[in-house]
Amino acid sequence: MRFAVWAPERTRVLVRLDSGDHPMSRDDGGWWHASLPDAPGDVDYAFLLDDDPTPLPDPRSARQPNGVHGPSRRYDHAAFEWSDHGWTGRALPGSVVYELHIGTFTEAGTFDAAVERLDHLVDLGVDLVEVMPVNSFDGVAGWGYDGVLWGAVHEPYGGPTAFKRLVDACHARGLGVVLDVVYNHLGPSGAYLDRFGPYFAGRNDWGPGLNLDGAGSDEVRRYVVDNALGWFRDFHVDGLRLDAVHALVDRRATHLLEELSAEVDALSAGLRRPLTLIAESDLNDPAVVTAREAGGRGIAAQWSDDLHHSLHVALTGEKQGYYADFAAPGALPATLRGVFFHAGTWSSFRGRTHGRKVDTARIPGHRFLAYLQTHDQVGNRAAGDRISALVSPDRQLCAAAIVLCSPYTPMLFMGEEWAAGTPWQFFASFPDPALAEAVRTGRRREFGEHGWGEAEVPDPMDPATFLRSKLNWAELAEPRHREVHELYRELIALRRSRSELADPRLDRFVVDADEHPWLVLHRGALRVVCNLGDTEARVPLDREPHEVLLASASVELAPAAVTLPAASFAVLDTEPDPAD
């Protein structure tokens, strides 16, 4: 057995096994090594640094069966028998993404239980399943963004082998898998990296940030890159969603994102299947998704919160906080046309100008994810209320039509497709009472500053908060939920059958709008007409509508117009059927 750990600032490192403590030898790069006789079965181990008697888990641990404070366990990736040998991957352009959280997607909250629901996603028409973080974090229940051992799969979900079963099952059904990973900070419990070496540099809003550009940062960057490549290579995932890349502080000539995208492209060539990086970025900077050859970071796509915010305000009328700017007249059509609402313009929430324009003639729409809901936009509301708790099903379906018929990559949040009645709230389960109380009071204070009373903020440490957030799959049998689900299915099926609806060329994308309010999306010969108003609307068209391909209510066609009931949409074909 061989053991290795990077600890450049330590004078002595031991590896602890059941057989005792064994000395390790240091090389010139600060890596410590030990070769020991093989032992049968799984082997637990930990490291002892200098004279500190505390055994610490391996920063590159592949398994933590006893939690983030316990010893690491060796794991043989080659032992798993994959059945996806014919899998050629799933490209992002043209795909529909579905975000889910393992712990609340099913009642059991495990990888194996999620496998039992994959056929629902296939029937819905999903292409890529985006799984929220599965790295090890302290406690049983949590969102996953407080991970501290990035290569070890959370044991309460089933551990690494069960995660492989989920990925394998997805591939068997033609579904790609995108995994959410967090490289911008570490969680508050179990983050021992700084005891090994200069991993940390400063803090951000969520915890200690990584040393990406200071002394010793070469190995820290390698730590990130190797972790990312490991998910692709060892777990066969098809993409990574990179959490909050704007919090990565890197002043080196080659930014970590550029380095990572180059490494992933090289691995993609070797594996002969597309591997995708999707960033969450608050920068509103198109350089993130601009090709490296053109001087950009080379990331395949990014989430676009401006699209969400403008759509949310148009639906709900909410204007507090960062929603205020998006209440401006014409914000929704302007954002649909240009991707970023804040594009070198004033942001009242930030108190400064923000962002840069997207060159819509050069950058395709599939590089931006459009969504009505995400874990952030639901879970970071005080009560975790979904859009279905704020607006009628009819209005939600109008927004779904805009998202699914846009030139952007559509993403759904689990349960959205049937207007789930369950909330999705912020929950955690830190065993340390002091940390638990700090999270509890911090959450209440944060929302109190935004006008919510303490009684309105669920206790994130109460197990009931976690249980309330689980999807109720029985709702699908209820007529109201079933009708919403069926229209989501039909919208996705129409997007697949009519290539115009997935056309990512932003310079050909036209949006007509009126203060009524209604919108018309020009998608080739198709027109997607949405009446977001509270009364019937007669919407003028630039071409004569010949056929209603899909509608949420009865509509009336006229030579150059269509009349829609309040809160309804219709997808119209303006070219006559050649067979007629």
Give the active site residues.
243, 280
> Residue holding tokens 């061989």?
2
Maximum separation of any 2 CA atoms in the chain, in Å: 86
| Degrees to nearest 5, angle at CA 347 with 345 and 353 | 45
Sign of CA dihedral 468, 471, 477, 479: positive
Question: How many CB atoms are located within 10 Å of the residue 319 CB?
Answer: 11
Residue among 401, 427, 371 nearest 568 (CA)? 401
Two structure tokens written together for 345 = 């313009």
CA–CA gap between residue 162 and residue 151 (Å, rounded): 14
For the chain, the straight-line distance linking the first and the last C-alpha, in angstroms and rounded, comes to 74
Task: Give the residues across from 14 on adjacent strands.
Answer: 23, 48
Residues 230 and 169 sit within 8 Å (Cβ to Cβ): no
Length of the chain measured in residues: 580
CA–CA gap between residue 427 and residue 469 (Å, rounded): 9
Question: What's the distance, CA 188 to chain centroid?
Answer: 21
Task: Give the residues across from 26 on adjacent strands.
Answer: 32
CA–CA gap between residue 415 and residue 98 (Å, rounded): 10
Residue among 6, 502, 483 nearest 220 (CA)? 6
| Side-chain half-sphere exposure of 483, counting CA atoms within 13 A | 10
Task: Give the residues across from 569 on adjacent strands.
Answer: 530
Residue partners of 378: CB distance under 8 A and separation at least 6? 384, 385, 386, 387, 413, 423, 424
Two structure tokens written together for 219 = 């190995």
HEC string of 370-411?
EECCCHHHHHCCCCCCCHHHCCCHHHHHHHHHHHHCCCCEEE
